[in-house]
Amino acid sequence: MLTRFWTEYMTALSFMTRLGCARMYSNEEIAATMRQFYAVGLTVGALITLPFALGAFSQHPWVQAWLWVFLSIWVTRALHWDGWADIWGWMGELCSR
């Protein structure tokens, strides 16, 4: 049970981030790991936020903000930012018609 959880978790972590071993996964493998996406999100959020929660650059909120953006882009390979840009690209295309 724990081995299955760990395997699915590491597959999801590798698929969604730079963390873990990167490789090509089949659709079936990714579908099996979807229940681990919440754990990966929690891990990524904790890793990115922890330095700031511990007081890193606490006197410089702009530095914290830019570092948080940079870290989230680097760790997730801009996965969420790419989706955000796609949404706005679609909206811009709708408005130009």
Cα gap 58→94, rounded to integer Å:
41
Mean predicted confidence (pLDDT) in 14-36: 90
CA 55/CA 72 separation, integer angstroms: 18
CA 45 from chain centre, in angstroms, equals 8
Confidence of residue 86 (pLDDT cuts 50, 70, 90): confident
SS (H, E, C) 37-68: HHHHHHHHHHHHHHHHHCCCCCCCHHHHHHHH
User: What is the rounded average pLDDT for all residues in the chain?
Assistant: 89
In this predicted structure, what is the pLDDT of residue 74? 92
Q: Give the pTM.
A: 0.76
The number of beta carbons lying within 10 Å of the beta carbon of residue 81 is: 13
Structure tokens at 3: 């081995």
